[in-house]
């Protein structure tokens, strides 16, 4: 029987009446307050994926190099030499929109814990960020504090931030996106799972003490639309990278010494989630005694202890005879540790306060009992996002200058110089030196390339084509570094899935992700879904973000993007430029529905060709064609190399039936710019053509001007002017041209 009071209580906690009925049926009684709090969090969108789980089943997850797939704290792939790379991307959007510094910092802290929970030492962080346009004070505030928060955590803990991407678009004005990806390295045979096994084994809480901070952070913030005002600020967790640094070193030493049966981080929903999931994966039960949890505040209620999202905590399963050894290691690292419960054969999560049972639920009901919902997708009939003309250029030269200075395209040096990109001595290419970050792994005699990509505007134009493009773009970035993708992680950032057009975006986007990964042969090894990214101003652009890890056999053979004087430049691949959904269309306020349908196979062939060309050392410079089209990509290469450049795009326009303007500024997948000594580039172009990968030589580096012509359009800019525009991001942030 539901009393009126309890039914209003479950609604306050975000559960529907139907979900509440189901809990009553599963328990065969009304849940008490502790149980209701625990159910409400584990059955939240953030923890239960109740609107996305069915769609995620589409994704290909198997591959020859996968050693850990979805369902664990992070995915992992084999890189040879007995080593595995673990990686995952996760969102911290809502906390960052409410409190950007701590939101972003704890986003980094959380994804780091996901990776070292596997026993992998984090070796790199990448970030994918979205804000409103930079002419808004709120956007500048969010950018400033998000970047400071990411830097504060990553720099302090000694993990380099090696890459990422940032876009500024008005639909993110109120609801910024902060997605952080962590890459870790571990001996392949020492990766540890999170399944709690061994009846009688102890449950040990390691790390920080438990306080009232972040109570309900994940479910409260991430499972409903953001409302105006900042009354949810107290729900945001507070990060302490020093505590996490000790925790990281402590956990890796515990694993090195073989002292743990299982390890799991405490993230969203705190102890409730980690204890429930560990028991669920192990097919066991778990008893947790809240009286034994070290607290920051003495008078915390059992439900508060169970749902607190205090940061920098891990849950370990330990054989009783090894407890003293575990505690000794923790003491050496000056990190807290307490045995708070044990693994049982009951199949139940029991919450005790001393001898008193204050909660008792079947593990299965708590972890897997949440109903999964079907979506009700319907395509919108017209473009539902704002259009605003900002371009006031006359002529193609001015247009190129404005595009180079557009914050989404401009150099992000102002951002990445605030991140330590070199600690751990692996970073072969620092940010903006190449399309992908390259990290050497001398222990395995190899290197890896990592990149993270997504373009919400293009996904908004066409959720299917835009998502395919994100996967291709990421693979293209790896190819420019000679990297072959081993696995993919994704973060699906969307609006309210209960709205038909958002459901349609999500449906089309996951279908595209599945198709593109299948065709490229890249398994999805993990990911995260962030829904309800909308406010009363409307939803964000649908923003699937993909991160990839690729294998680079020889880090000495990795070209950068600096084109030097005298080098020739070729355009390689089935790139067919279109102004649809482009930066130029945005600047003109001419965005409409629809992108050209992508053909994945020819792009995949070009990716393979470029990868092999890079690996064989026949390419000195490689850069993919992305935002702003060929004109922007060529200018970026000229700026990086400090040389002028002269290119003609008539052949491209003719080949594709594209207008001169589209040849210069049009976008689309499958374009690579390859540079090197003229004869070598000529030979490479001929070889590519013979292999069925369309390639044309378009120009060479010379002089001190950026000269591009297509049809009757001619661009001639002083290199210094182009560079000045491209380096203008700092000016928006009061730091001048940097």
Q: Is 3 exposed, middle or buried (0-12, 13-18, 19+ CB in 10 A)?
A: exposed
Residues 6 or more apart whose Cβ sits within 8 Å of residue 35 = 23, 27, 359, 360, 361
Q: Which residue has the tokens 């994940």?
A: 218
Distances (CA, A) of 484 to 78, 86, 167, 577, 610: 13, 16, 26, 25, 11
Q: Which is nearer to other proteins, 297 or 443 (CB)?
A: 443
For position 240 contacting other proteins by CB under 8 A, the verdict is yes
Q: Is 512 exposed, middle or buried (0-12, 13-18, 19+ CB in 10 A)?
A: buried
What is the C-alpha to C-alpha distance for residues 131 and 61, in angstroms, rounded to an integer?
Answer: 31
Rule CB under 8 A: choose which of 19, 277, 309, 420 binds other proteins: 420
DSSP string computed for 515-577? HHHHHHT--EEEEEEE---EETTEEPPPEEEEEEEEEES-GGG--BS-PPTT-EEEEES----
| Part in contact with other proteins (CB under 8 A); list of ranges 1-9, 37-45, 359-367, 427-435 | 427-435
Least Å distance, CB 121 to other proteins, is: 10
What is the C-alpha to C-alpha distance for residues 648 and 635, in angstroms, rounded to an integer?
Answer: 13
For position 423 contacting other proteins by CB under 8 A, the verdict is yes
Q: Which is nearer to other proteins, 197 or 557 (CB)?
A: 557
For position 418 contacting other proteins by CB under 8 A, the verdict is yes
For position 397 contacting other proteins by CB under 8 A, the verdict is no
Choosing from 10, 20, 51, 92, the catalytic residue is 92
Residues in 157-196 at the binding interface with other proteins, rule: CB under 8 A:
157-158
Residues in 532-571 at the binding interface with other proteins, rule: CB under 8 A:
555-556
Look up 21 and say whether it is catalytic. no
For position 246 contacting other proteins by CB under 8 A, the verdict is yes
Helix (H) or strand (E) holding 106: helix 100-116
For position 245 contacting other proteins by CB under 8 A, the verdict is yes
Picking from 467, 470, 466, 427, the residue whose alpha carbon sits closest to that of residue 450 is 427
Q: Are strands 446-453 and 484-493 parallel, antiparallel or unpaired?
A: unpaired
For position 427 contacting other proteins by CB under 8 A, the verdict is yes
For position 422 contacting other proteins by CB under 8 A, the verdict is yes
Q: Are strands 484-493 and 524-530 parallel, antiparallel or unpaired?
A: parallel
What backbone phi and psi angles, to 5 degrees, belong to 87?
-160, 155
Rule CB under 8 A: choose which of 91, 273, 421, 728 binds other proteins: 421
Residue 93 is given by DSSP the state H
Strand arrangement, sheet containing 645-648: 621-624, 672-676, 568-572, 695-701, 645-648, 705-710, 713-718
For position 711 contacting other proteins by CB under 8 A, the verdict is no
| Part in contact with other proteins (CB under 8 A); list of ranges 252-260, 316-324, 420-428, 640-648 | 420-428
Look up 46 and say whether it is catalytic. yes
Q: Which is nearer to other proteins, 51 or 152 (CB)?
A: 152
For position 155 contacting other proteins by CB under 8 A, the verdict is yes
Least Å distance, CB 421 to other proteins, is: 6
Cβ count near 589 (within 10 Å):
12
Task: Give the dihedral of Cα atoms 236, 241, 245, 251; nearest 10 deg.
Answer: 0
What is the C-alpha to C-alpha distance for residues 209 and 276, in angstroms, rounded to an integer?
Answer: 20
Q: Which is nearer to other proteins, 82 or 736 (CB)?
A: 736
Q: Find out whether 274 and 315 touch, Cβ atoms under 8 Å.
A: yes
Q: Which is nearer to other proteins, 333 or 575 (CB)?
A: 333
For position 473 contacting other proteins by CB under 8 A, the verdict is no
Choosing from 10, 20, 46, 145, the catalytic residue is 46
For position 412 contacting other proteins by CB under 8 A, the verdict is no
| Part in contact with other proteins (CB under 8 A); list of ranges 60-68, 263-271, 426-434, 694-702 | 426-434
For position 440 contacting other proteins by CB under 8 A, the verdict is yes
Residues in 313-372 at the binding interface with other proteins, rule: CB under 8 A:
333-334
Rule CB under 8 A: choose which of 202, 259, 428, 569 binds other proteins: 428
For position 425 contacting other proteins by CB under 8 A, the verdict is yes
Binding site residues, other proteins, CB under 8 A = 148, 151, 155-158, 240-243, 245-246, 249, 333-334, 416-428, 430, 440, 555-556, 735
> Which residues are catalytic, by number?
46, 92
């Amino acid at each position: 029987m539901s009393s009126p009071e309890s039914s209003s209580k479950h609604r306050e906690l975000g559960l529907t009446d139907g979900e509440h009925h189901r809990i009553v049926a599963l328990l065969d009684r009304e849940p008490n307050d502790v149980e209701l709090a625990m159910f409400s969090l584990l059955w939240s969108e953030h923890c239960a994926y109740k609107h996305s789980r069915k769609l995620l089943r589409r994704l290909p997850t198997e591959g020859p190099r996968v050693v850990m797939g979805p369902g664990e704290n992070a995915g992992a792939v084999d890189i040879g030499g007995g080593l595995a790379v673990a990686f995952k991307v996760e969102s911290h959007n809502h906390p960052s929109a409410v409190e950007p510094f701590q939101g972003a910092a704890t986003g980094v802290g959380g994804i780091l814990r996901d990776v070292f929970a596997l026993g992998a030492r984090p070796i790199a962080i990448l970030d994918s960020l979205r804000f409103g346009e930079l002419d808004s004070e709120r956007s500048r505030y969010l950018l400033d504090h998000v970047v400071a928060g990411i830097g504060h955590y990553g720099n302090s803990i000694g993990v380099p931030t090696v890459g990422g991407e940032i876009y500024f678009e008005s639909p993110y004005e109120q609801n910024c996106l902060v997605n952080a990806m962590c890459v870790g390295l571990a001996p392949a045979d020492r990766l540890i799972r999170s399944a709690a096994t061994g009846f009688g084994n102890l449950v040990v809480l390691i790390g920080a003490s438990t306080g009232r901070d972040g109570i309900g952070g994940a479910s409260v913030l991430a499972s409903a639309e953001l409302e105006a005002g900042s009354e949810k600020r107290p729900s945001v967790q507070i990060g302490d990278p020093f505590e996490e640094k000790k925790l990281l070193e402590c956990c890796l030493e515990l694993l090195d010494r073989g002292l743990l049966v299982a390890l799991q981080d405490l993230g969203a929903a705190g102890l409730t989630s980690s204890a429930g999931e560990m028991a669920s994966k192990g097919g066991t039960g778990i008893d947790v005694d809240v009286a034994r949890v070290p607290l920051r505040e003495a008078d915390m209620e059992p439900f508060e202890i169970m749902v607190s999202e205090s940061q920098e905590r891990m849950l370990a399963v330990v054989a009783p005879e090894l407890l003293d050894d575990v505690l000794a290691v923790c003491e050496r690292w000056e990190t807290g540790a307490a045995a708070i419960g044990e693994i049982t054969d009951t199949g139940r999560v029991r919450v005790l306060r001393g001898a008193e049972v204050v909660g008792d639920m079947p593990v299965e009901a708590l972890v897997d009992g949440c109903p999964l919902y079907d979506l009700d997708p319907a395509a919108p009939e017209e473009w539902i996002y704002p259009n605003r003309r900002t371009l006031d250029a006359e002529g193609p030269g001015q247009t190129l200058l404005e595009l180079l200075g557009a914050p989404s395209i401009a150099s992000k040096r102002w951002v990445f110089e605030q991140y330590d990109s070199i600690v751990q001595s692996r970073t072969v290419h620092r940010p903006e030196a190449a399309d992908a970050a390259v990290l050497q792994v001398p222990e395995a005699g190899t290197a890896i390339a990592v990149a993270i990509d997504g373009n919400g505007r293009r996904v908004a134009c066409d959720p299917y084509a835009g998502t395919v493009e994100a996967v291709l773009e990421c693979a293209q970035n790896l190819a420019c570094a000679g990297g072959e993708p081993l696995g993919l992680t994704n973060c699906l950032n969307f609006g309210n899935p209960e709205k038909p057009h958002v459901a349609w975006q999500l449906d089309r986007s996951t279908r595209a992700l599945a198709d593109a990964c299948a065709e490229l042969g890249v398994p999805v090894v993990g990911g995260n879904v962030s829904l309800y990214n909308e406010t009363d101003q409307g939803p964000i652009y649908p923003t699937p973000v993909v991160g990839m890890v690729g294998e680079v056999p020889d880090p000495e053979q990795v070209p950068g993007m600096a084109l030097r004087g005298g080098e020739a430049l070729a355009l390689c691949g089935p790139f067919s430029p279109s102004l649809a959904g482009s930066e130029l269309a945005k600047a003109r306020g001419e965005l409409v529905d629809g992108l050209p349908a992508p053909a994945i196979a020819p792009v995949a062939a070009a990716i393979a060709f470029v990868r092999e060309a890079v690996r064989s050392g026949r390419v000195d410079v490689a850069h993919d064609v992305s935002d702003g089209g060929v004109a922007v990509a060529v200018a970026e290469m000229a700026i990086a190399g400090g040389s002028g450049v002269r290119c003609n795009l008539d052949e491209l326009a003719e080949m594709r039936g594209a207008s001169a303007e589209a040849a210069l500024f049009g976008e689309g997948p499958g374009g690579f710019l390859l540079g090197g000594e003229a004869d070598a580039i000529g030979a490479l172009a001929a070889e590519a053509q013979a292999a069925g990968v369309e390639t044309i030589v378009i120009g060479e580096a010379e002089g001190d001007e950026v000269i591009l012509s297509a049809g009757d359009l001619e661009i001639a800019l002083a290199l210094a002017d182009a560079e000045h525009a491209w380096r203008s991001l700092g000016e928006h942030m009061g730091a001048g041209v940097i």
